[in-house]
Amino acid sequence: MSTTNDTPPDWGLSDFNAMEAVLWRAEADPLLHSTVIAVEELDVAPEWTRFVSTHEWGSRMVPRFRQRVDVGRLGYPAWVTDARFELRHHVFRSDLDGGTWQDVMDRVAAIAQAPFDRDRAPWEATLITGLQDGRAAYVLKMHHAILDGRSGMQLFGKMHSRKREPTRDKPQPLPLPVARTSALVTAFRRDTATLTRGIMRLPGMGHKALRPDRTVLESARYVRSLRRVLGPVAAPPSPALANRSGDWRFFALDLPLPGLRAAARAADATLNDAYLAAVLGGFHRYHEATGTPIESLPIALPIAIPKPGDASTASRFAGARLAGPLTIADPAERMHAVGAVVGALRKEVALDAIDSVAPVLARLPGPLLSRLVAQVAAGSDVQVSNIPGIPDEDVFIAGAKALRFYAFGPLPGCAAMIVLVSHWETCCVTVNHDEAAIAEPETLRRCLAEAFDEVLALGGTDARAEVRR
C-alpha cells in the first residue's frame, strides 16, 4: 500500500450522480450492463493472506467498497453502508495450471459477464495463479457506477505499494462522517441543483436573457450544435458488425509507448491522434479482409470538457460520436483528419447536453430509460478510450510487481470497446468485442496489429505491436 495521500478519494465518499444512476438503471436491458475490468499481470503469485489483507484495508480506505445500492421506493439509486459486508463475498482466487495469457483473457471475460449480486457492494477481486513462468493475474471487477477510468487509476494508485515488502506503519483511514440526511434526499437535492445549473447554461436562460439579440443568436447556435452532438452520426453502421449476442470476448496487444510518441511527433499530431488512426486503420483492414469494405465507421469516444476559465484543465468528460474515416491510406493524413474532427467536437457548445439533462433521464421509468440509452449506444459500432496509467514507477500489490496493466470497458450495445492504458514504457491496448459482431476475431487481431505497426513505422524505429497470447 502507498503510505502517501492515505485519505478516501472524493468519489469514494460521494452519492450517486445522475449519470451513474443512468448507468445503473439502464441495466434493465442485459446488453447495457456496465461492468469494467482491470487486469494486472504480476511477476509472482502474491501470498494469499497478504492479498486478502490488502483488500480489507483498501475497502476501509474507500468507503464505496463497503456500500451497496439501495433503489428506494422511488426507484432512484443511492449508496448505503452494507451492514452485512463480508470480504469473502468479494475476494476470490482461481488457478490455471500452466495457463497462457489468452487463457487469462478467456477466464476474465467469463468473470466480467457474471452479474453482480445487487444486494452487495458491486465489486469483486480475483487472484488467478498457475500461469506460465510462475506469474499471476490480478483481476478487479467493478460496476461503472463506482468509478470511471481516471478515478480507477486513482484507486489503483492507492491500492499499490512502491516496494515489495509490507508497509508496517501505514496510516489507517479516519472514521467516516455521519450523514445528516438520507442518501436518497441528498442525491435528489444535488441532482435537482445540477439540472437547474444545466438549464441556466442554455441559451435564453440566466443573465444572458437580458440581451435578446445575443440570446437569439446563441440559441440558434446551440440548436445547431445539439443536432450535431445528438443527431445521427454521418457514418452508417457497418453491416459486417451488425450482429449482437451479448457475449463478450477479450484480447490484448502491447506496443512501445516511446514508439507511439515518436510516430505522433513525426506526423505533427498527438498521441491520441496516432492511437485513433491505428484503430481506424485496423478496422479498415478488417473490413477489406472480410470482403465488406466501407468508407467510414461510426465511433464514440470521451472528450474532455475544460473547466470554465481554464482551458488546460479538464474537470469532466462527455461522450462524443464521429464518423471515423477508413479510406485515408496514409497514416499521417489519417491522424490529421481524426485530430481535426475531434478538435471540432471539443468546440461544440452542446457537447455536455446529456450531462445537463441526466438528472431527468435518471428518473424515467426503467424500460423507457433503457430504450433511450440503447438507441444512443446503437449509433456507434466501436467505442475508443485512452486512459493515463499509474505514474512511471514500479508498483506492487501484496508483494507482487505489476508488469502490465489492462483495462476492459463494457459493450453498451456496440460491437467493440477498445481501451489504451499506458504502463511504464508500454501501451496496453485491450479489445472487448461482441462474439457475434466480430465474425473473424483472429483476423481482427492481425489487422489491428498491422495497423499499429503502420503507425509506429512513422517514428523511424523498429517498434512493433505484439498480440498477447
Let me know: does 401 contact 45? Beta carbons within 8 Å: no
Q: Going by C-beta distance under 8 Å and a sequence separation of 6 or more, which residues neighbour residue 169?
A: 3
> Is-catalytic flag, 144?
yes
- DSSP code of residue 458: G
- DSSP code of residue 208: G
- DSSP code of residue 174: P
Closest CA to 255 of 401, 425, 396: 425
- DSSP code of residue 170: -
Let me know: does 59 contact 65? Beta carbons within 8 Å: yes
- Angle 18-201-372 (CA atoms, 0-180°, nearest 5)? 40
- DSSP code of residue 435: T
Closest CA to 135 of 45, 56, 62: 45
| Alpha carbons 194 and 4: distance in angstroms, whole number | 33
Catalytic hit among 33, 144, 287, 423: 144
Largest CA distance in the chain: 72
Backbone φ and ψ for 398, nearest 5 degrees, come out as 55, 35
Catalytic residue ranges: 144
